[in-house]
Structure 1
Amino acid sequence: MVQLYQSPVRVYKHPFSLVMLAYERRFPTCPQIPVFVGCEVLKDEESHGGAIRMTERRCKLNVEAPYILKKIIGVDFVYFIQKNVLDRRNSVLEIEAWNESFSTRVTVIEKCRYFVHPGNPEWTCFEQNASLDIKNFLGFENSMEKLAMKQYAQNISKGKEIIEYFIGELKEQGVTYVEPWVDPEKVLTSNVKTLEIVESNDQNIETTESKLSSNKEIKLSSDYIERYLGKLDLMQESKLLRLRQSIQELRGASVPNDATLLRFLRAREFMVDKAKEMLTQSLHWRKKYQIDKLLEEYEAPRVIKDYFPGGWHHCDKDGRPLYILRLGQMDVKGLLKSIAEDELLLLALHICEEGLSLTEEATNILGHPVSQWCLLIDLEGLNMRHLWRPGIKALLRIIEIVEANYPETMGRVLIIRAPRCFPILWTLISTFIDENTRNKFIFYCGSDYQEQNDGGLSDYIDQSYIPDFLGNDSETNIMEGGVVPKSLYRLEVEGTSNEHEHSLYHSISIAHGQLHHVIINTNDPGALLTWDFDVMRHNVMFTVLHESKNSDLATKASPSEECSDDSGASAIKVWKEGCNWIKVEPSIICHDGESIQGTHIIQEPGIYILQWQNPDEGEFLPSISSHKAQLMYFYEVLPSAHYRGSMMSLQSVVSGRSVASSSLSR
């Protein structure tokens, strides 16, 4: 298998001629590279006038391998041929090296180049690439491959330090400047150019930093990678450049910045082909939906500005932008019925684009790479209304799109004030979240988040930035949310929503004095029975009943069936409480226009009944009209295995000491 390595461009802030003099000091031996034992010059020639110098060396390297492996291969040293071509006229040194030893079994080819920095003629750049192909090595191919790449990576990492060492040595000897080579035939012209360089040198130094951020060649420098992307090992650097080159071949000059490339590589565990596929699909998606214009053109609807409880708020202790979402205060159903699912998705994408912009800004301000943001989700007020099925479906769609197009942007997710019903929501959405992202979740139940310096929020957010709604002094510009008035519902949205909901929701009409009920037969103690319904007209009374195994209904009922007034409702209506059935949830009167959500944990197997009644006039509550009651309802039984599993998962990470920690910072 061929192993490829492509280095970033490394920058020496010294002139080319001085770097070349330092480079020559590496020969014939170099104590800074212990494996480099020595070399002999096989050829050293110059062209007429001295513009081109060609040097060929035979280099001797010590084999840094386990003793037993040395004995098996039968050598202590290996030999390489190195050919250097120095073009003094254009200030370029081309180096090519290949192995002489074991050349029939192993092929190693390395190419390097020193050249003048394109943004500053007083600096020098260095780049290299190498390939390793182990064809046959006595059955030790994998071991030799790992050993060779390890040694190569170690020696490459020393390369820049060695040049700097010899430049320092020259300075100690009083050599701080080396006269650039001058073509003897063009002495006068060269002197004029040299004078121009000296006069503009101060200006070049002042403008170098700005050029670093705009010149594509410079963006490949190791200094740039460390400053804007963070620490990468040599193979990660190589794969970053391979992905850039691959995308450039497809898209020409339209290539995302290095931070974006790195995010997609991390999302695919630095597998270049998979990262390329994921990124290519995302770039097509961005172009199709004009995502690049979103920051400039997006205008939030009025209902979002007034009722969406989320916004940016300072940063966490790692310098990541902090987004706060008070999910427990959000009227999901009201927002969707007011603006529709696509508009809510657009809001989420705008938040993601803002996050990318803020991380770039933080990187420039803080002087170190910030590629992710922090999310604080407050669940106070979360209840079963948030489990409204169309809302869950919209949330899952948003998660799917964000995961595909904004990978590795979430640094940490802090979940605070999680109520008992949260595990149900977590069960529904967690499987759609990438495992790497799930590992960044930190859960707090109750008041655990208030602990200071012991796993509380202050471990991750500076105390002065903890928001005011949590009892601190840091004011936020975040709306409190609340119920969206039905007057803001859009009729066209509501109509579309009803069509969308028909596969989940049942529509029924109930005349005065009649009732409608759903019979649910379950043998799963610990399961969770949930319901959600909208009263479209009139008033109704809702009750949840549990019927004993011994009744006639229990022996006849299927796992789930619906009955109306003329199909057995009267029989249920005359059952004796405490004998045939018991009321497991208090009866509630539901008024015209109300939305009701609820849940009941199944304690005992048997028949459970959801019952809606349109009372006779004067019974329970006065009738407001002669019209039938109308409602839409949905119910579901969540298996105990899912519910208990999610609760156990939550309990295992109730404090800040979860799998997510500052060690995940990038």
Structure 2
Amino acid sequence: MVQKYQSPVRVYKHPFELVMAAYERRFPTCHLIPMFVDSDVISEETSEDRSFHRIERRCKLDVDAPRLLKRIAGVDYVYFIQKNSLNHRERTLHIESHNETFSNRVIIHELCCYSVHPENEEWTCFEQSASLDIKSFFGFESTVEKIAMKQYASSIKKVGSHTAFFKNHIHTCWFIFQLAIVDDLEPESNLNGAKQHLCLDKLDADYIKRYLGDLTPLQESCLIRLRRWLQETHKDEHILRFLRARDFNIDKAREILCQSLTWRKQHQVDYLLDTWSSPHVLHDYYTGGWHHHDKDGRPLYILRLGHMDTKGLVRALGEESLLRHVLSINEEGLRRCEENTKVFGRPISCWTCLVDLEGLNMRHLWRPGVKALLRIIEVVEANYPETLGRLLILRAPRVFPVLWTLVSPFIDENTRKKFLIYAGNDYQGPGGLVDYIDKEIIPDFLGGECMCEVPEGGLVPKSLYRTAEELENDEIRLWTETIYQSASIFKGAPHELLIEIIDASSVITWDFDVCKGDVIFNIYHSKRAPQPPRKDPLATHGITSPAGNNVQLIDKSWLLGQDYSMVESPLTCKEGESVQGSHVTRWPGFYILQWKFHSMPACATTNLPRVDDVLATLQVSSHKCKVMYYTEVLGSEDFRGSMTSLESSHSGFSQLSAATTSSSQSQSNSMISR
């Protein structure tokens, strides 16, 4: 679905010609718009009477992302093509822009128009519209479109024109001036006088220094005014977090604080630490926990996200339980901050979080899990502002930009500034972990000598999974409304999926669950396209497909090794298993993903059959299997440098699987995740 944006008409109270002169000053660069780095003229033409001017430029933009993230994504800048048509006679400027970078995955189209105000020729109107279409993004197209359009609408408010810069400056000065004349104070009164007038119960200086930190007179005034307005007993530290989150804008801080207080009462969050008992599965498989403190005395929380079975936790607990567990962590963090404030004798209002991404792969982008993560981020951002002092992201793999793209728009801009991202072992040198955490408490799994009690995680046993009936209505929807397709596999009638590859070194990724029976998964390559699938693929076997979701592409006359070839070793998948993997294509052509019925081998011994063998035989007699699958093709030009991580992403959980299931130890192919 294409997302569209239409701005309201802006009116600049300046003549069209003056606005055009200001507009042209942004080329080829503009220091007032830092993200606009440079521009080059591609083509230009002017009419003979010079009344019409058309110019096409290639514009270079600096993307808003950490330097390491840009390096991982393989881009430092984003390029747009802009076509301007200026008509001096009609006094109009039409601007058409579209992105050049990642254009095969994302299409951004923007239209702008400057024109004379219909009622005042000395004024200029400005209109702006844009559309965004995500062609391919791991099944999250709709989500990413909405996120990106939200970010776009926010960004254009910041860089709409040169006049906006001066307008914001004037507004700031006027705001300060208003503070000086609150309650009929004289304009020449200083801010200390305003503070005294507004707050008869001035905070004690020693109390501020001991528990709140350095506050300017204006900040202290805002804190007391908001506390008095609430007419309730609330901790100053709690109120101060919301003020800082809104740059001490009292109206905005009061709005979000009131919403949060209502939320806390509604969900009894104040009593969460006393009433919430974490399920046993969280103690064993949630790879997070508190670990001493950093060099600033902030409580340190460690999360080994790359070792966490996010899909298993969602299936075993549901979204609501995971959310309440994260809320309990935040409540515990606030309590630890209060304790450390007393221990260190200085205000400590936030904590440090260390996230280890070793093992992070495409499996962690399971759609319901990401949706649960986005909801958790949204709730935490709304109710625990300014509680994160620093976030250290260690051993970030090359697939990390995909996850970052999904979650970063939900994170406050001030919070994103606290992120420090390290790839590989960069965190071990100067400017790394030792700058923020004492060497004596660096966890052993990060090369330190301190034993860390954070669980190592592993695969959540399927015996702990909850059925759809046991989950809440929203969790049922979370699991059932997915991007997956279902297919039936019959004995003698495999299900096959055709993928055409134009460019070699593209990446085919897959994620499928074996819902019923055992199947064999194969990948084949052919230089020629298979014939359209037969309408009744099971007719030759005397079986009628009840669902019509079985497709066969490989003709019976084709010979393996002559008409088509196998590009991956066959993979046997048992009922109930989830399989994720990827294949970097070596040649263009047609790739066929095949799920084939797995027949049990004949018994090789003369012993009496076991109960499991009898049940397996009964299962085979049904001659039917079922899978739910999702596939994605990634272009090499979009993810330069990421091919190695994508190719190995399915092996991230193979070591965990080997430790938890004996059957996986015999699997040499690392695509089995559990």
Band the TM-score falls in, shorter-chain normalisation: 0.5 to 0.7
1:569 aligns with 2:547: no
Contact 1:362 1:370 in 2 (8 A): yes
Q: Unpaired runs of 5+ in structure 2? A: 1-176, 535-546, 605-612, 644-674
* Partner in structure 1 of residue 354 of structure 2: 376
1:488 aligns with 2:472: no
1:473 aligns with 2:473: no
Letter paired with 2:510 = W
* Partner in structure 2 of residue 500 of structure 1: 478
* Partner in structure 1 of residue 14 of structure 2: none
* Partner in structure 2 of residue 36 of structure 1: none
* Partner in structure 2 of residue 278 of structure 1: 256
* Partner in structure 1 of residue 206 of structure 2: 223
* Partner in structure 1 of residue 32 of structure 2: none
1:331 aligns with 2:309: yes
- 1:159-209: CA deviation from partner (whole Å, max 9, x where unpaired): 9xxxxxxxxxxxxxxxxxxxxxxxxxxxxxxxxxxxxxxxxxxxxxxxxxx
Once residues 387 and 398 of structure 1 are traced to their aligned partners in structure 2, the CA distance between those partners, rounded to angstroms, is 15
* Partner in structure 2 of residue 411 of structure 1: 389
1:519 aligns with 2:498: yes
* Partner in structure 1 of residue 407 of structure 2: 429
- Residue 591 of structure 1, aligned match among 558, 561, 574: 574
- 1:589-646: CA deviation from partner (whole Å, max 9, x where unpaired): 2122221112345777765543212145669x99852232222223345677875699
1:510 aligns with 2:489: yes
- How has the CA–CA distance of structure 1 residues 575 and 267 changed in structure 2, closer, same or farther, with 3 Å as cutoff? farther
Contact 2:487 2:550 in 1 (8 A): no
- Structure 2 matches for 1:22-101, cutoff 5 A? none
1:439 aligns with 2:439: no
TM-score with structure 1 setting the length? 0.58
- Structure 2 matches for 1:97-176, cutoff 5 A? 131=185, 152-153=190-191
Contact 1:309 1:329 in 2 (8 A): yes
Once residues 643 and 400 of structure 1 are traced to their aligned partners in structure 2, the CA distance between those partners, rounded to angstroms, is 28
Please give the secondary structure, in 2, of the residue aligned with 1:220.
coil
Letter paired with 2:423 = C
Once residues 320 and 298 of structure 1 are traced to their aligned partners in structure 2, the CA distance between those partners, rounded to angstroms, is 24
1:633 aligns with 2:629: yes
Contact 2:179 2:194 in 1 (8 A): no
CA RMSD of aligned residues (A): 3.9
- 1:104-138: CA deviation from partner (whole Å, max 9, x where unpaired): xxx99989xxxxxxxxxxxxxxxx987455xxxxx
- How has the CA–CA distance of structure 1 residues 644 and 476 changed in structure 2, closer, same or farther, with 3 Å as cutoff? same
- How has the CA–CA distance of structure 1 residues 522 and 271 changed in structure 2, closer, same or farther, with 3 Å as cutoff? farther
Letter paired with 2:629 = Y
Please give the secondary structure, in 2, of the residue aligned with 1:531.
strand
Once residues 645 and 402 of structure 1 are traced to their aligned partners in structure 2, the CA distance between those partners, rounded to angstroms, is 33
- How has the CA–CA distance of structure 1 residues 586 and 218 changed in structure 2, closer, same or farther, with 3 Å as cutoff? farther
Question: 1:259 deviation in Å?
Answer: 1.4
Once residues 301 and 108 of structure 1 are traced to their aligned partners in structure 2, the CA distance between those partners, rounded to angstroms, is 53
* Partner in structure 2 of residue 542 of structure 1: 521
Once residues 326 and 574 of structure 1 are traced to their aligned partners in structure 2, the CA distance between those partners, rounded to angstroms, is 51
- Residue 463 of structure 1, aligned match among 439, 448, 468: 439
Letter paired with 1:473 = E
Contact 1:427 1:646 in 2 (8 A): no
Identity %: 50
Please give the secondary structure, in 2, of the residue aligned with 1:437.
helix
Once residues 192 and 221 of structure 2 are traced to their aligned partners in structure 1, the CA distance between those partners, rounded to angstroms, is 15
Question: 1:349 deviation in Å?
Answer: 0.3
Letter paired with 2:355 = I
Contact 1:542 1:590 in 2 (8 A): yes
Letter paired with 2:256 = M
Please give the secondary structure, in 1, of the residue aligned with 2:318.
helix
Greater CA drift, 524-533 or 513-522:
524-533
* Partner in structure 2 of residue 53 of structure 1: none
- How many residue pairs match? The answer is 438
Question: 1:307 deviation in Å?
Answer: 1.8
- Residue 612 of structure 1, aligned match among 583, 591, 595: 595
Question: 1:518 deviation in Å?
Answer: 3.0
Question: 1:371 deviation in Å?
Answer: 1.2
Letter paired with 1:536 = C
Please give the secondary structure, in 2, of the residue aligned with 1:596.
strand
Question: 1:347 deviation in Å?
Answer: 0.3
- 1:467-487: CA deviation from partner (whole Å, max 9, x where unpaired): 122232322222221111112
- 1:373-429: CA deviation from partner (whole Å, max 9, x where unpaired): 111111222233222211111111111111111111111111122233333322322
Question: 1:523 deviation in Å?
Answer: 6.1
Contact 1:108 1:130 in 2 (8 A): no
Question: 1:517 deviation in Å?
Answer: 2.6
- How has the CA–CA distance of structure 1 residues 320 and 257 changed in structure 2, closer, same or farther, with 3 Å as cutoff? same
- How has the CA–CA distance of structure 1 residues 370 and 219 changed in structure 2, closer, same or farther, with 3 Å as cutoff? farther
- Structure 2 matches for 1:313-328, cutoff 5 A? 313-328=291-306
Once residues 277 and 110 of structure 1 are traced to their aligned partners in structure 2, the CA distance between those partners, rounded to angstroms, is 23
Question: 1:363 deviation in Å?
Answer: 1.4
1:234 aligns with 2:217: yes
Question: 1:342 deviation in Å?
Answer: 0.5
Contact 2:302 2:354 in 1 (8 A): yes
* Partner in structure 2 of residue 60 of structure 1: none
Letter paired with 1:437 = T
* Partner in structure 1 of residue 651 of structure 2: none
Contact 1:529 1:638 in 2 (8 A): yes
Contact 2:213 2:346 in 1 (8 A): yes
Once residues 357 and 492 of structure 2 are traced to their aligned partners in structure 1, the CA distance between those partners, rounded to angstroms, is 40
- 1:534-567: CA deviation from partner (whole Å, max 9, x where unpaired): 222322122344554x5366999xxxxxx97864
Greater CA drift, 337-346 or 577-586:
577-586
Once residues 523 and 312 of structure 1 are traced to their aligned partners in structure 2, the CA distance between those partners, rounded to angstroms, is 49
* Partner in structure 2 of residue 31 of structure 1: none
Contact 1:515 1:564 in 2 (8 A): no
- Residue 396 of structure 1, aligned match among 374, 380, 386: 374
Letter paired with 2:596 = Q
Please give the secondary structure, in 2, of the residue aligned with 1:480.
coil
Please give the secondary structure, in 2, of the residue aligned with 1:569.
coil
Contact 1:337 1:493 in 2 (8 A): no
Letter paired with 2:217 = L
* Partner in structure 1 of residue 167 of structure 2: none
Please give the secondary structure, in 1, of the residue aligned with 2:393.
strand
Once residues 498 and 604 of structure 1 are traced to their aligned partners in structure 2, the CA distance between those partners, rounded to angstroms, is 41
Q: Unpaired runs of 5+ in structure 1? A: 1-106, 112-127, 134-147, 160-215, 557-562, 648-666
Once residues 243 and 643 of structure 1 are traced to their aligned partners in structure 2, the CA distance between those partners, rounded to angstroms, is 49
- How has the CA–CA distance of structure 1 residues 517 and 306 changed in structure 2, closer, same or farther, with 3 Å as cutoff? same
Once residues 558 and 292 of structure 2 are traced to their aligned partners in structure 1, the CA distance between those partners, rounded to angstroms, is 61
- How has the CA–CA distance of structure 1 residues 646 and 600 changed in structure 2, closer, same or farther, with 3 Å as cutoff? closer
Contact 2:290 2:302 in 1 (8 A): yes
Once residues 109 and 308 of structure 1 are traced to their aligned partners in structure 2, the CA distance between those partners, rounded to angstroms, is 49
Once residues 606 and 554 of structure 1 are traced to their aligned partners in structure 2, the CA distance between those partners, rounded to angstroms, is 16
- How has the CA–CA distance of structure 1 residues 578 and 237 changed in structure 2, closer, same or farther, with 3 Å as cutoff? farther
Greater CA drift, 343-352 or 469-478:
469-478
Question: 1:341 deviation in Å?
Answer: 1.1
Contact 1:509 1:630 in 2 (8 A): yes
- How has the CA–CA distance of structure 1 residues 366 and 566 changed in structure 2, closer, same or farther, with 3 Å as cutoff? closer
Larger Rg: 1
Contact 1:340 1:493 in 2 (8 A): no
Once residues 593 and 448 of structure 1 are traced to their aligned partners in structure 2, the CA distance between those partners, rounded to angstroms, is 39
